[in-house]
């Protein structure tokens, strides 16, 4: 989504530094910097960030068992489930609760009981050709008596599903297990985890809705999607497991913002958020129907008054009278430490998914529900890298030589919101790349110092994609790097998910600010310098990637109020001793003992021809 430029609230010193940085970035063309980049503090000369879609740590690593001598916090180690996928002795820790909230938005609604059993998962918008069922209906591949907590998806839907039995209804775009899409939005996620450690995940998803203020409320198609998980111990996710065993993973890495894709990609690129502003960059209020209001509609149990893709995505979080804000402020104020107060007065921040302010060719995006071009309060890591003559690039599958197809994620490039980048042809070139460009540049040894690589529809997103497809994408990307020995010797690949997608996670969450943190998501570091088979417990989130880049190239934080100003977290402590704090991911490396061997990963059958149905699905909530 959007990043930030310079805001009146920034201190004079910081403002001057940002002004110099932006001026230098605008003046200099550094797609493959002609001026020498500063030396790095580590042997890493190339960073590649791969961002998949919508899986929590427990959803993918529920039963992962690390090499001898390593420990991990997941559903298996906590005794919530067994390696077979069945409920474990501590299953009650994840039992899904029911509640009542009829007056005002609350993080502590009245608990009324628990689900007995879990409601059947819903198909949401999975194509009939991929599951044999109608959309928005109970998924009868799952039994009607699921236990009220985590359950193994692939006991009922094969991980390597070929969908042949549904072929009379058409053709799926990918192989693999297609399942429904859990709801995953800002105020919903705060309510799921603000109390009871995620045990309200199912209740919130089945009551809050995202119907843009419809009254009477629109039907909700969710059921028990939220607590499903994949089972590595039973053969699921073989490529991800192979990478985890040979390189390093984190079991304490988090999405930086509660909620969905757009806001988390923005945080990953800016350490903060995008805001609603006019053509001069002045903070103004968005249209009334685009302002969030999570208070229950009259006569409903927790059905939000204004929320949904087509309306209700901004909040004025510096205003304690704004709907929902005071509740989160009160929660943060009760913590035993002081969180970041980085909401700027008068700014309405995007919390969910709207289109980027620019098209990839630099023209202003005039589509409905688009974040305005970010002219103030929006500095990206791209700005900082260019100002210091460090090359960078965003590679988006589906870019299609400047004519993005439906597979291209139009909300995922944080630089595409930035006026300073998108109106400067020299800087704009950095975001005009596709997957084929990445593969060819890796082969030729011409990748920039920092690359963001975004899948298209093979991003693993529930509803329209599969983990089988995303694993294949990962294998292709890693292989492209490892096939160039010189490039491989100086590269660190960070593989993560943008957010949980509404899937349950059992890990600790450290509140950092109004925006988050959110639940855990996977993080795998693939590099000759990654600690082999290591599980890092240091507290990290998406902004830790920015901190790694900044530490590696000796860069300063992007602004005075971005999250990359936070101190480094206590190494190997799930809960930092001094809070708030996030790591810089250096704890996942051993630069003194590199292993330059490569891992042969199976690249499975190529994706099938693009499925036409995806072009017709309105407002997919990435």
pLDDT single digits (tens) 172-206: 999 999 999 999 999 999 999 999 999 999 999 99
Flag whether 308 is in a domain. Answer: no
pLDDT band at 52 (very low <50, low <70, confident <90, very high): very high
Flag whether 268 is in a domain. Answer: yes
CA distances from 24 to 93, 129, 285 (A): 53, 52, 31
pLDDT band at 286 (very low <50, low <70, confident <90, very high): very high
CA distance 312 to 348: 11
pLDDT at res. 622 = 66
- When computed from its CA atoms, the radius of gyration of the chain, rounded to whole angstroms, is 22
pLDDT at res. 38 = 85
Mean predicted confidence (pLDDT) in 290-313: 92
Q: Which residue has the tokens 């103030």?
A: 376
pLDDT at res. 603 = 76
Work out the mean pLDDT of the chain and round it to a whole number.
92
Q: Output the six-digit token pair for 350.
A: 């995007």
pLDDT at res. 308 = 80
pLDDT band at 605 (very low <50, low <70, confident <90, very high): low
CA distances from 333 to 68, 228, 320, 517 (A): 41, 33, 12, 15
CA distances from 109 to 284, 382, 487 (A): 33, 42, 53
pLDDT at 616 over 70: no
**pLDDT, tens digit, 9 for 90 and up, residues 363-411:** 999 998 999 999 999 999 999 999 999 999 999 999 999 999 999 999 9
**pLDDT, tens digit, 9 for 90 and up, residues 537-555:** 999 999 999 999 999 999 9
- Percent of the chain clearing pLDDT 90 (strictly above): 89
pLDDT at 620 over 80: no
CA distance 374 to 416: 9
Give exposure, 416-448, as e/b (b: 16+ Cβ within 10 Å). Answer: bbbbbbbbbeebbebbbbbbebbbebbeeeebb
pLDDT at res. 413 = 97
Mean predicted confidence (pLDDT) in 593-619: 65
Flag whether 66 is in a domain. Answer: no
pLDDT at 225 over 70: yes
Query: Does the CA dihedral 321-322-323-327 come out positive or negative?
Result: negative
Q: Output the six-digit token pair for 252.
A: 């304490």
Name the nearest CA neighbour of 442 among 481, 416, 495: 481
Name the nearest CA neighbour of 102 among 304, 307, 327, 368: 304
CATH number assigned to the domain comprising residue 22 = 3.40.720.10
Flag whether 412 is in a domain. Answer: yes
pLDDT band at 585 (very low <50, low <70, confident <90, very high): very high
CA distance 93 to 79: 9
Domain that holds residue 534: 12-60+234-292+336-616
> Residue 95: which region, alpha, beta or left (left: phi > 0; alpha: psi -120 to 50)?
beta
Which residues touch 577 (CB under 8 Å, ≥6 apart)? 570
**pLDDT, tens digit, 9 for 90 and up, residues 515-534:** 999 999 999 999 999 999 99
CA distance 563 to 363: 30
User: Lowest-confidence range among 24-28, 292-296, 437-441, 522-526?
Assistant: 24-28
Which residues touch 404 (CB under 8 Å, ≥6 apart)? 360, 396, 398, 410
pLDDT band at 477 (very low <50, low <70, confident <90, very high): very high
* Domain total in the chain: 1
Q: 172 and 160 in contact (C-beta within 8 Å)?
A: no
pLDDT at 9 over 80: no
Mean predicted confidence (pLDDT) in 108-122: 97
Flag whether 32 is in a domain. Answer: yes
Flag whether 35 is in a domain. Answer: yes
Flag whether 331 is in a domain. Answer: no
Flag whether 400 is in a domain. Answer: yes
Give exposure, 100-133, as e/b (b: 16+ Cβ within 10 Å). Answer: bbeeebbbebeeeebbebbbbbbbbbbbbbbbbb
pLDDT band at 606 (very low <50, low <70, confident <90, very high): low
């Amino acid at each position: 989504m959007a990043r930030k430029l310079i805001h009146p609230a920034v201190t004079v010193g910081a403002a001057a530094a940002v002004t110099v940085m932006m001026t230098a970035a605008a003046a200099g063309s550094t797609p493959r910097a002609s001026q020498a980049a500063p030396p790095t503090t580590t042997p890493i000369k190339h960073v590649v960030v791969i961002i998949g879609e919508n899986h929590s740590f427990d959803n993918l690593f529920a039963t992962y068992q690390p090499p001898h001598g390593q420990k991990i916090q997941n559903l298996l180690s906590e005794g919530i489930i067994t390696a077979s996928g069945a409920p474990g002795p501590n299953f009650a820790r994840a039992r899904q609760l029911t509640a009542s909230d009829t007056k005002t938005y609350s993080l502590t609604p009245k608990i009324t009981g628990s689900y007995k059993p879990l409601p059947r998962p819903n198909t949401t918008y999975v194509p009939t050709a991929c599951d044999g069922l109608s959309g928005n209906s109970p998924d009868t591949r799952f039994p009607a008596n699921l236990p009220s907590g985590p359950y193994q998806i692939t006991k009922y839907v094969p991980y390597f599903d070929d969908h042949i039995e549904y072929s009379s209804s058409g053709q799926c775009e990918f192989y693999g297990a297609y399942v429904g899409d859990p709801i995953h939005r800002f105020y919903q996620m705060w309510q799921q985890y603000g109390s009871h450690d995620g045990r309200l995940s199912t209740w919130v998803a089945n009551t809050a809705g995202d119907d843009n203020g419809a009254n009477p409320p629109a039907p909700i198609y969710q059921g028990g999607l939220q607590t499903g998980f994949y089972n590595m111990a039973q053969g699921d996710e073989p490529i991800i497991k192979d990478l985890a065993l040979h390189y390093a993973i984190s079991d304490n890495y988090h999405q930086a913002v509660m909620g969905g894709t757009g806001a988390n990609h923005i945080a990953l690129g800016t350490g903060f958020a995008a805001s609603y502003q006019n053509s001069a960059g002045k903070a103004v209020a968005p249209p009334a129907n685009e302002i969030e209001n999570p208070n229950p509609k009259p006569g409903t149990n927790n059905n939000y008054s204004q929320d949904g893709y087509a309306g209700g995505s901004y909040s004025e979080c510096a205003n304690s009278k704004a709907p929902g804000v005071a509740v989160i402020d009160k929660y943060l104020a009760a913590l035993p430490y002081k969180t970041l107060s980085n909401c700027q007065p008068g700014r309405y921040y995007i919390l969910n998914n709207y289109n980027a302010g620019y098209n990839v060719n630099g023209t202003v995006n005039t589509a409905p529900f688009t974040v305005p071009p970010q002219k103030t309060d929006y500095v990206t890591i791209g700005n900082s890298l260019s100002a210091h003559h460090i090359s960078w690039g965003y590679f988006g599958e589906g870019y299609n030589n400047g004519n993005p197809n439906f597979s291209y994620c139009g909300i995922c490039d944080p630089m595409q919101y930035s006026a300073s980048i998108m109106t400067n042809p020299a800087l704009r070139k950095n975001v005009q790349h596709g997957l084929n460009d990445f593969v060819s540049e890796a082969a030729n040894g011409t990748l920039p110092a920092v690359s963001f690589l975004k899948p298209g529809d093979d991003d693993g997103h529930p509803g329209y994609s599969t983990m089988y497809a995303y694993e294949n994408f990962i294998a292709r990307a890693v292989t492209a790097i490892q096939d160039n020995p010189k490039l491989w010797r100086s590269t660190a690949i960070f593989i993560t998910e943008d957010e949980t997608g509404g899937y349950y996670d059992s890990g600790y969450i450290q509140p950092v600010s109004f925006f988050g943190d959110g639940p855990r998501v996977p993080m795998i570091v693939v590099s000759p310098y990654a600690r082999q088979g290591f599980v890092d417990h240091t507290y990290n989130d998406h902004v830790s990637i920015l901190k790694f880049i900044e530490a590696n190239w000796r860069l300063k934080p992007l602004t005075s109020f971005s999250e990359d100003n936070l101190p480094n977290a206590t190494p190997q402590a799930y809960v930092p001793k001094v809070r708030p704090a996030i790591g810089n991911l250096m704890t996942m490396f051993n630069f003194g003992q590199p292993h330059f061997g490569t891992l042969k990963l199976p690249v499975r059958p190529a994706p099938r021809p693009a499925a036409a149905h995806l072009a017709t699905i309105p407002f997919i909530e990435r």
